[in-house]
Amino acid sequence: MSTPTLIGVAAFRGRYTARYIQFGEDPEVLVPLLRRIWTDTFGRDTDAMAAALLARNWWSLAVNPKPRRWDRQLPVPGLGYPATGENDTVRQGSLREAVDGFLEWLYLLHLDQRRLVVYEATVHGRWLRHSAHHLDPVEDLFVTEPALDEGGPGMTVCTVCGAVDEIDHVEVPSMAGYGYDTATSCTRCGSSVATDPMFGDRVTRKPWPPHAPKTGDATGSTR
């Protein structure tokens, strides 16, 4: 089953330029794939990757696409399978506009920040920001990013799962007798950083995507 997706480049005040991917993927699959394409195919040249993605519509993306006998066009090495069809125009749109047709995901590159922001189509036909991801993952667990589109307050991003402003923070007087103990955690993936005035930071990065239970029922208990 296809996952109609747009991928493109963010512009000023929520505008964007994008191309269509017939068989897109959700962020857990497509974000790692785009990071690998950025590194392996384009040598971390974000402008070159954006230009190549915007050159055509896509059937699907792949790091090492192989020729298939039923394809009408040869695959693009290091990038994927081009789509075939009469409508091969670049899409110009806005995040404020209603979502067109059966689209499910929108991936926008922010070229100057080497960052990928993901939007999900809601049941009401609007784009809802899902997550933000650095193409080159940073070491910090949480980073503060500038506000997108409307110039509002900055946002806090979890660098493990890409959650935006899904952060729980607790601060209490330290048992060391001075300063404060703090705990900041991501409510989506559970990654956290704890600090105290004696031992500094302790970072816990949870696996993402979470591991599925190997056996047993939905609770993960084994039989």
Q: For 29-44, how does the pLDDT look when each residue is reduced to its tens digit (9 = 90+)?
A: 999 999 999 999 999 9
Segment holding 155, helix H or strand E: strand 155-158
The DSSP bridge pattern shows strands 105-110 and 5-10 to be parallel
Residue 113 binned pLDDT confidence (cut-offs 50, 70, 90) = confident
Beta pairing class for 180-186 and 167-173: antiparallel
Cα–Cα nearest to 159, from 178, 129, 135: 135
107 Cα distance to chain centroid: 7
CB atoms within 10 A of CB 126: 14
Cis before 209? omega within 30: yes
Paired tokens of 147: 């506000």
Question: Kind of pairing, strands 91-94 and 105-110?
Answer: unpaired
Max CA distance (Å), the chain: 72
pLDDT tens by residue, 132-171: 787 886 556 888 777 766 666 778 889 899 899 999 989 8
Query: Mean pLDDT over residues 39-68, rounded?
Result: 94
At residue 216, does pLDDT exceed 70? no
Nearest to 28, CA basis, from 209, 190, 196, 157: 209
User: What is the bridge-based pairing of β-strands 105-110 and 127-134?
Assistant: unpaired
The predicted model gives 193-206 an average pLDDT of: 75
pLDDT at residue 198, rounded to an integer: 58
Distance between CA atoms of 60 and 22, rounded to whole angstroms?
A: 6
pLDDT of res. 142: 85
Residues 73-76: contacts with CB within 8 Å, 24+ apart? 76/52
Could you tell me how far CA 208 lies from the centroid of its own chain?
13
Nearest CA among 97, 119, 90, 103 for reference residue 17: 90
What is d(CA 175, CA 116) in angstroms, rounded to the nearest whole number?
Answer: 41
Residue 191: which region, alpha, beta or left (left: phi > 0; alpha: psi -120 to 50)? beta
pLDDT band for position 201 (cuts 50, 70, 90)? low
Give the span between the Cα atoms of 205 and 216, in whole angstroms.
Answer: 26
pTM above 0.85, yes or no: no
